[in-house]
Structure 1
C-alpha cells in the first residue's frame, strides 16, 4: 500500500487537515490514475454496504435501540491514518449504526466527505426519477429563474444545456443536498419517460485545463462525472443508458 493510498483513506474519513485535503484534491484533479483509485475505493465501499443491506433492513429489537440511544459516546481521539480497508470497515460500522436508528451519530459533527456526493445523488435519483407530476420543483418554463436560483445557492454559475439532440427534453430543476452541500439537479426526460439528470456542486478542487470524464456505476445507475470551472458535475442515467458519455461531453461544452 502506498502513502497516497493511506492519504486517500484518511481523506475519505475526513481526517485530513484543510491543507492536506487540498493537496489530495489537486492531485485527484490532475491525475486520472489517482481519481481511478479513489473511485475504486468508493465502489468497494458501496458494494460492501449493499452486502449488508439485508441485515440492516431486519427489525431492530426496541431494547437494543434504547441501549444504543442511552450509551455514552467515547471522547474523540486525535486523527490518525488507517489502512484503506480499515477505513472501509469503519465506514460500515457507521453505516450499520445509522441503519439501527442513527442514535450513535446523533448530535455529532461528522466531517464532510466530499468524495461521496455521487452516492447521495444516486439515492435522490432513485426517488425522483420515478416521479411524473412532481419530477421537479421549478418547471422548464422558468429556466432563467432556475439558473439564477440554483446558481446563487450552489455558488457556481451555469447555463442549462440543450440536450435535444439526444432526444432529451429539459423538464426543470430542483435543489438537493449531498454531503452537506447544496446541489443543483437539472432533470431531462426522453420520449419513453426515461429520466437523465445533470447535477452540479461547487468544487473545492483546482479544475484541470481539460475536463477528465470518469465513468462508474452506483446503486444501479450509470454516472459520468467531471470537474470544470467552479463546479463538480455529473450526468446520471439508468444502467445501460445509451450515449451517456456523449451527453456529458455536450453538457460540458454547453453549461
Structure 2
C-alpha cells in the first residue's frame, strides 16, 4: 500500500523509526511515482529555522511587552475567579485574548508591528472628568491585568448571580486575615451599583481583590484592590484598552475602579469611597 503524504513527510524529515524507514525505502525502489513525490517533498524543505536564527530582530517595545503580559495575566486571573465560571459564553473572549497575544507577538517578529504602530497596540485615547488624567503608559502592571480581565465580563456574566453575603463575608475575612489586605467592601447601591461578589485573586504572587458590581444598565463595574505601602495618591482617570479606569492610593492600599466609558460616573464614586461617605457592605 502506498504510504500517505504524512508518512512521506515524516520520512523526508527523518522522523520515522528504522522499521518504517525500511518499509518506505522498499516501496521507493519499485515506484517511480513515489520517488517523484519524495523528490518534491525534499525540494520543498527550506531552512526556516536557520533563516530565522540569522535575522537581526529589533528589541520588543516596552508597550508591546506590557500588552502581552497584561493579556497573559488576565487569562490567569480568569482561571482563578469563580464568578467568571458562570455562563459559558462569557469565557469565549478568553481564547480570543490568548490568540490576540500570540498574533501581536508574531506580527511584531515579522515586522508588521513596526508598520502598524499604535493602531496594532490599541493605544487608547485621553480620559475625561475632573480627576487628573494620566497617560495609559503610566498604568501599573496589575491595573493593566485587571482591565484586560474586566473586559471579559459582560452583563450576562453576573446578571443572574444572587449575592451570598455570608459567603462573601467569609471571603473578606480570609482576605483580611490571610492576605493581610484591610478590605472594606463599600455599599454602592445609592450610586446605582448592585453588589454581585468578591473574589480573591493573585497577581505576580500578590493578593489582588476584585469586587464586582452591576449598574442598572450596561456592563459590570469592578473595584480592584491591592496592598501598596507607597504614599497616598490622588484620584486619577485614564482610558485603557477601551475601559475607563479611576485609580488612587490610600491607607497602604491601591485602588482601581474599572468600567466601560458609558458606565456610571466612576470618578464621583471613587470620590465617595475615598471620603468614606458610603457605608460598608462588609
What TM-score comes out, normalization by structure 2 length?
0.47
Coordinate RMSD, CA, aligned? 3.8
Q: Does 1:165 align with 2:137?
A: no
Q: What is the Cα deviation at residue 152 of structure 1?
A: 3.4
Please say if residues 163 and 195 of structure 2, whose CA atoms lie closer than 8 Å, have aligned partners that are also in contact: no
Question: Which residue of structure 1 lines up, in the alignment, with residue 153 of structure 2?
Answer: 128
Structural mapping, 1:26-175, within 5 Å? 89-90=61-62, 92=64, 99-100=101-102, 115-132=140-157, 139-175=164-200
Q: Does 1:232 align with 2:254?
A: yes
How far apart, in 1, do the equivalents of 2:169 and 2:188 lie? 17
Question: Which residue of structure 2 lines up, in the alignment, with residue 194 of structure 1?
Answer: 219
Count of aligned pairs: 162
Relative to structure 1, is the Cα distance of residues 199 and 220 closer, same or farther in structure 2, using a 3 angstrom cutoff? Answer: same
Q: What is the Cα deviation at residue 217 of structure 1?
A: 1.0
Relative to structure 1, is the Cα distance of residues 124 and 139 closer, same or farther in structure 2, using a 3 angstrom cutoff? Answer: farther
Q: Does 1:215 align with 2:237?
A: yes
Please say if residues 156 and 230 of structure 1, whose CA atoms lie closer than 8 Å, have aligned partners that are also in contact: no
| Structure index of larger Rg | 2
Unaligned 5+ residue runs, structure 2?
Answer: 1-47, 73-100, 106-137
Relative to structure 1, is the Cα distance of residues 224 and 175 closer, same or farther in structure 2, using a 3 angstrom cutoff? Answer: same
How far apart, in 2, do the equivalents of 1:114 and 1:130 lie? 25
Relative to structure 1, is the Cα distance of residues 226 and 144 closer, same or farther in structure 2, using a 3 angstrom cutoff? Answer: same
Please say if residues 136 and 174 of structure 1, whose CA atoms lie closer than 8 Å, have aligned partners that are also in contact: no
The alignment partner of 1:132 has SS state of: helix
What TM-score comes out, normalization by structure 1 length?
0.52
How far apart, in 1, do the equivalents of 2:184 and 2:139 lie? 24
Question: Which residue of structure 2 lines up, in the alignment, with residue 243 of structure 1?
Answer: 265
How far apart, in 2, do the equivalents of 1:137 and 1:119 lie? 28
The alignment partner of 1:225 has SS state of: strand
2:207 to 148, 167, 182: 182
Relative to structure 1, is the Cα distance of residues 127 and 206 closer, same or farther in structure 2, using a 3 angstrom cutoff? Answer: same
Q: What is the Cα deviation at residue 139 of structure 1?
A: 3.6
Q: What is the Cα deviation at residue 125 of structure 1?
A: 0.5
Relative to structure 1, is the Cα distance of residues 242 and 138 closer, same or farther in structure 2, using a 3 angstrom cutoff? Answer: closer
